[in-house]
Amino acid sequence: MFLAVLVARLWHLQLIHGESYVKEARENRIRLLRLSPSRGRILDSQGRVLADNSPGFTFSVIPGEMGDTEKIIETSSDVLGLAPEKLRRLIHRSKSSPKYMACPLKENMSLEQVSLIKSRITSLKGVTLETRPTRLYPFGEALCHVVGTVGEISAKELFKYSQMGYRPGDRIGKAGIEKEYEVLLKGVEGWEQIEINARGRQLADLTRRSPTPGANVTLTIDVSFQKFVEKTFIYRAGSVIVVDPDTGRIIAMVSKPGFDLNLFAPSISEHEWKNLNSDPLHPLENRSIRGVYSPASTFKVVTAAAALGEGMVHPDERFTCEGKFQLGGQTFRCWKRKGHGEVDLHGALVESCDTYFYKLGLRLGIDRIARYASLFGLGKPTGLGLPQELPGLIPTPAWKLRTYREAWRDGETVTVSIGQGYLVCSPIQLAMMTVAVANGGKLLRPALVRRIISHDGSLIFDHSPVVRWKIPLNPRELSLLRRAMIGVVSENDGTGKKSRIPGISLAGKTGTSQVIRLREGALKMEKVPYHERTHAIFIAYVDDRPMKIAVVVIVEHGGGGGAVAAPIARKIICRYYGVPDPGDPKE
């Protein structure tokens, strides 16, 4: 009887299920190893490497070959520096990966860790050490918001990009250029099939496909100049942008405060992540594209352009400024309490007379102001090529009715006409607005990437200027604006005279952006709480050099634009053209 049962069992195993067991045995002898590609490098305009790769060791498990999970944890937890519970969670997560694909648990292991773990894993099934490149940022904090970071792929990203070959534990661009150009930077994964025995030891190489490195991305920014700008910006928070007005290429882009990119390579610690996220100045935020501020008196350039373009004012027409303006029981004050007296368009821009623009704004009406603000690129993303750029806001009666269910009031037109109220924009939008004045009315798309070259040297992308549209101002109208902006710097009553550089024709406009409503008998700036202080803004461009530049400086809670932001712009421009800074102490 026993013999009959044994024969029947052998017959069942060999004849009915024999083929499937043979197939499973073959598959269990084949291991598929992923070969990670070298991520493309990010370079500055002079070819200096901003983001590179360094070889790193990764501790991985093969879900379909894993033996005793608890034995793996007991053997490797202390060496890897991972708490047993965390390692247990990672191993559990790996079981959702393909059965014979290596799933990383610990990256960037030290040589000491590698040496120790090698001596322990010989008795463990389904455990392997892989060589995977990790990201390296030679310049640390410089250009941190532009270059961006790489991090472990999230569940949401994995669902979105799984068809592109991503697996749990993979690295993916999280911010900046690293995120925007992820598809080109990542390269193409390779693989290798090896034959192993029952103990997981390699017997032979079967087939192999080498990985394809990612493309190299060259930026428009010179990191040496960038570092000078970062060093010059000594304040707690704000942004500086330097642009070529003829091409739209970004020459420098600073957002302060910043952070060391190497904190994220290969992964940031929980402690460091908590510190960055709890910092009240939000160092992870790219203020250049996501900081939104009232443009203050820099917006008077737009209001003046609208009045000229619509034929609503003659340049020689004078308005009287007595230091305040009455409207419907409200008093709107000029920054100069005693007033500017009789002032025309040129003088109003040079001396930044609020009362002149209150009256001009009412004559124009909010719809015309909003239209020209849009023509100058405000209220919409610039198309710079960095993720999560904010559009800012151009308020209109329709917007207010939709948002607050209230009608628009003339007093709100008055405040918008001088760049206050609901109106907000980002530093990059102000930069491109300035560029449009500098280059004769062309609103350009800003560019951070100069070229992209594949691993084999072929050209994928080469930047050429993109004109989004032409602002409808004739040469005479543009000339009036430009002469007034030159007067802001060069004339004795100009609010931007602290940016003056001998031998250089500089056109500018100051702005002092209110954070809270001005109070009577305001305290001195140093006695005002930091978060209630005004933002200092200065926009400028060089008018008389073959190599032109436009500059925007915003100092959060810094005070007055002419006193604080203009001198920063002066230092930057002097460095760019290699001329002495007249503000430096004389020896």
Distance from chain centroid for Cα 65: 43
3-state secondary structure labels for all residues of 421-439: CCCEECHHHHHHHHHHHHC
Query: Side chain identity at 493, as an amino acid letter?
Result: D
The CA distance from 16 to 19, in Å, is: 8
The 3-state DSSP class for residue 105 equals strand
297 is known as an active-site residue: yes
Instruction: Indicate the pairing of strand 506-513 with strand 535-542.
Output: antiparallel
3-state secondary structure labels for all residues of 5-61: HHHHHHHHHHHHCHHHHHHHHHHHCEEEEEECCCCCCEECCCCCEEEEEEEEEEEEE
Q: By the 8 A CB rule, do 374 and 391 touch? A: no
Q: If you ran DSSP here, which 8-state letter would residue 123 be given?
A: G
The CA distance from 442 to 433, in Å, is: 9
Give pairs for 68-72: CB < 8 Å, separation 24+.
Answer: 68/125, 71/124, 72/124, 72/126, 72/127
Q: By the 8 A CB rule, do 95 and 63 touch? A: yes
The CA distance from 581 to 571, in Å, is: 6
CA 405 vs CA 44, 230, 396, 397: distances in Å? 49, 44, 12, 10
Q: By the 8 A CB rule, do 148 and 177 touch? A: yes
The CA distance from 263 to 49, in Å, is: 18
Find the farthest-apart pair of alpha carbons in the chain and give their distance in angstroms, rounded: 121
* Torsion sign (Cα): 570, 576, 579, 580: positive
Q: By the 8 A CB rule, do 515 and 530 touch? A: no
Cα 126-60-190 angle, rounded to 5 deg: 105
3-state secondary structure labels for all residues of 248-276: CEEEEEEEECCCCHHHHCCCCCHHHHHHH
* Torsion sign (Cα): 341, 345, 349, 350: negative
Distance from chain centroid for Cα 58: 30
Q: If you ran DSSP here, which 8-state letter would residue 135 be given?
A: E
Cα 392-394-396 angle, rounded to 5 deg: 145
Scan for tokens 């091409």, then name that residue: 247
Instruction: Indicate the pairing of strand 42-43 with strand 216-219.
Output: parallel
Name residue 30's beta-bridge partners: 195
Active site residue: 294, 297, 352, 513, which one?
297
Query: Side chain identity at 79, as an amino acid letter?
Result: V
Name the residues annotated as catalytic: 297
